Amino acid sequence: MTQQLNIAVYHNLHSGGAKRTLYEEVRRLAARHYLDLYTLSSADNDFCDVRPFANKVHIYNFEPGPLFHSPFGRLNQAVRTLDLRRLREVSRRVAADVDAAGYDVVLVHPCQYTQSPLVLQYLHTPTVYYCHEPLRKLHEPPVRRPYEQRSLLRQALDRVDVLAGFYRAMLRRADRDSLRSASRVLVNSRFTQENVRRIYGVEAHVCPHGVDTELFRPLGLPRDGTVLSVGALTPNKGFDFIIAGLARIPARQRPRLTIVSNYAEPRERAYLERLAVERGVAVQFRVDVGNGELVEAYNRAALVVYAPIREPLGLVPLEAMSCGTPVVGVREGGIAETVVHNEGGLLTEREPSTFARAIQTLLSDPYLAGQQGQRGRQYVLAHWTWDRAVRELENHLAATVAGHT
């Protein structure tokens, strides 16, 4: 066990996987270390609430400015630029307060506005930044959707929009300089490690993720024959590919698809609903599902399908396998590191027919699916528990402190 540390924790996260990660880390660290929390009023502090585990909670007032509606939407880039400037001033105050309190180390998680938090640039206390992913909207090509097609006039205006260009340059610089200011950068996968090296020129350390194996566990419920996918209803989650894959299965054998999401973009949902009707795939959408319902959904599904684009880790397959449910996933990004082929599920290339055949393989052979589910549960227990992950995190925190003494 590492020595007891005085730790300040900073984040400005909304709901989602990153906040769940912070919750699991903080509640275990708080049992062995002194811990205070620093956050902003704009953060979702109720979702996976970490405040009960902190000795002191410091919440700084910050809310983004109101945005304009069409036809004045282009002025929103000016609003966001002013938000960044205000956020920088708040970050300076947070850093000064943290430094004055004399902590051993600061554990920093992302900011919903800049990804790498600006506070990293102003802290003198040693910092460990857990980078879940780079600022993807600036460093990856967008996933194209027909509902996002713009007129020739709007495309021309986009090319000469000075405010948009200035804001993107300012945001890129804020994210880059903040990440490079961290004493140590941790990432969740080798895939993310390579992206951080390529984008920021920083050598990050892979710190394993975890799964709450007591929450996500087999319940012994009967399987209902459906396939399940989980994730925000956004283009990069690849639900359109899943629908295309299921459409390749003969209609009389085609399973129903259930999609569980913590967040839904209305236009993306409408697009997926139309696509499902066109392809003859029955889809049920469930939004804002609690943990208990999610665990039950994992347990009742025949299998879980997962095909996001350039996914940094792939927490959903780990949760599914922890529940004893086999997975069919694409062999890309972090998913190739969380799912071992034939040890909890099947991996395929991003090709609809190949994906469909893997689904059919498990649906047509319940015994094989059961074996894969059992192997997946054992695999998660051996390699992906939160206790193991937080021990690694503690080692990184202690090493960062030792490097600055």
Q: What is the pLDDT of residues 149-172, one digit of tens each?
A: 765 556 555 565 667 788 999 999
Average pLDDT of the chain? 94
What are the pLDDT digits (tens) for 119-132?
999 999 999 999 99
Is the predicted pLDDT of residue 1 greater than 60, yes or no?
Answer: no
| Number of domains present in the structure of the chain | 2
Neighbours of 388 (CB within 10 A): 13
The 3-state secondary structure of the chain reads: CCCCCEEEEEEECCCCHHHHHHHHHHHHHCCCCEEEEEEECCCCCCCCCCHHHCCCEEEECCCCCCCCCCCCHHHHHHHHHHHHHHHHHHHHHHHHHHHHHCCCEEEEEEECCCECCHHHHCCCCCEEEEECCCCHHHHCCCCCCHHHCCCHHHHHHHHHCHHHHHHHHHHHHHHHHHHHHCCEEEECCHHHHHHHHHHHCCCCEECCCCECCCCCCCCCCCCCCCEEEECCECHHHCHHHHHHHHHCCCHHHCCCEEEEECCECHHHHHHHHHHHHHHCCCEEEEECCCHHHHHHHHHHCCEEEECCCCCCCCHHHHHHHHCCCCEEEECCCCHHHHCCECCCEEEECCCHHHHHHHHHHHHCCHHHHHHHHHHHHHHHHHHCEHHHHHHHHHHHHHHHHHCCC
Whether 279 maps to a domain, the answer reads yes
Average pLDDT of the segment spanning 291-311: 97
Looking at the structure, tell me whether residues 46 and 163 fall in a common domain.
yes
**CA torsion angle 64 65 69 71 (round to 10):** -120
Are residues 106 and 156 both part of a single domain?
Answer: yes
- Same domain? For 363 and 262 the reply is yes
Mean pLDDT for the stretch of residues 390-400: 97
84 lies in some domain: yes
Q: What is the pLDDT of residue 155?
A: 57
Work out the percent of the chain whose per-residue pLDDT is above 70: 95
Do 27 and 125 belong to one domain? yes
Could you tell me if residue 221 is inside a domain?
no
pLDDT tens, 175-207?
Answer: 999 999 999 999 999 999 999 999 999 999 999
In terms of domains, do 46 and 185 share one?
yes
Same domain, 85 and 121: yes
Residue whose token pair is 């960044």: 84
Q: What is the CATH number of the domain that holds 171?
A: 3.40.50.2000
Tell whether 203 and 258 lie within a shared domain. no
Structure tokens at 275: 């696509």
Look at residue 215 and tell me if it is in a domain.
no
Supply 362's token pair: 């498990």
Average pLDDT over residues 29-47: 96
The reported pLDDT for the residue numbered 30 is: 97
Q: What is the pLDDT of residue 165?
A: 81
The mean per-residue pLDDT over the stretch 281-290 comes to 94
pLDDT tier for residue 322 given thresholds of 50, 70 and 90 = very high
Amino acid 307: pLDDT: 98
Same-domain pairing of 315 and 196: no
Summarize pLDDT for 60-71 with one digit per residue, the tens.
999 998 887 776
Whether residue 122 sits in one domain with residue 180: yes
Between CA 215 and CA 211 the distance in angstroms is 9
pTM above 0.85, yes or no: yes
Residue 86 in any domain: the answer is yes
Q: What confidence score (pLDDT) does residue 75 get? A: 75
**Dist. CA 328–CA 306, nearest whole Å:** 6
**What confidence score (pLDDT) does residue 323 get?**
98
Q: Could you tell me if 105 and 41 lie in one domain?
A: yes
State both tokens at 96.
């000064």
* Same domain (yes/no): 27, 107: yes
Question: What is the pLDDT confidence band of residue 96, given thresholds at 50, 70 and 90?
Answer: very high
Which domain covers residue 85, as residue numbers? 6-210+386-402
Residue 218 lies in a domain: no
Q: Within a domain: residue 286?
A: yes
**Phi-psi map region of 176: left, alpha, beta (phi>0 left; psi -120 to 50 alpha):** alpha
Q: Cα separation of 136 and 232, whole Å?
A: 15
Note whether 157 and 55 are same-domain residues.
yes
- 324 confidence band (pLDDT: 50, 70, 90): very high
Inside any domain, residue 137: yes
